Structure 1
């Protein structure tokens, strides 16, 4: 049995099975990515609910694994060289899982780097810009009632990014063509989330991006997505 005693996070969120991947997350776009990938890969894991309501992500135990205080994070008892490894940042975790299993990432160098660039496109563009749009559109609307600039700035940038994605997906089933990859997994929860969490479908003119919308439906319809989007379950 793996010894996880070197990881303080396990004292607050004990592992029932320390021999499998431990996921610390929430049902947010970033959190869902990792659960979806784990389901796609068929890797056994335990999911631990990190409550924002009680600032679990700021606790000393969580910060010991992710000093940035954000979900998701994982701990793999069977890391490189058979030693435990802890990781944070959803993009880094997706790359790790893909390389660990040899799945969800093209085996050739050109395809691999092309996939990675689209992962970075989401991490550097869609995630931050959609997140800022949602903040000003839904959560800070009253604070900027007399200044529409912040919401309009991020709304317009989010729509521009949707246009880039639309161009990429025209004539393609997935971002990389016929192969479903971590580029799809990292991106679609944010497109879905901008509507689910922020109610932004109309404001972001989703109807003007038919290739993106069709792709989004294909992503959501995958069995691993249906399960992963609802993990972890909030404790009763």
Structure 2
């Protein structure tokens, strides 16, 4: 009886669509990684960026997996776009020499401060409250780089990808494709309201990486890259690799 039930379970598993299988794995691996206690990681700007980016990527993974499971993967473009960008930024940081990482993330902090200051000005011009306190950003002591190439890479994702020796072209292409469906573009309007003769029919944009194959591979790259950077920053190996251990323990 148990053997027959086991065979039926395996048969049902084989009949499940690939995007459902991968969505289930993505969700469980995200839960495992996000459950890892990283409070003992020594505080530094680089460590904060790495842990923060990694956790943000896996939070996006859970949302993407849930939408894919219920047949709404086409609506996950903003989440996928954020996920691909987080992966690209981690690869960019991991690919550069260790002594450049501090000034690189400090340059990103300085750029964030300038961007938020501009937004604050716009909000004041429109008599609107702005919830981001600029004072908290001013409290960070940071030392931006004077290297013009690194400064541009810190501000511009395309420049960062071009400056990364690793082959990140596939992930960058996915980021560009999902960018099309993550903003109020004409292409997005046309997909949701395509013309049908003299009427506008119903429609949806494509679901990029529908089966989550690239997504699943990228999650593995994220935990390995995060561990590599943290270990290079002096984090003990067992703590730096804890997210990877949790991830690869998921079956």
TM-score normalised according to structure 2 size: 0.28
Structure of greater relative contact order (alpha carbons < 8 Å, 6+ residues apart): 2
Kindly name which structure, 1 or 2, has the bigger radius of gyration based on alpha carbons.
2
Larger strand proportion of the pair: 1
Larger helix proportion of the pair: 2
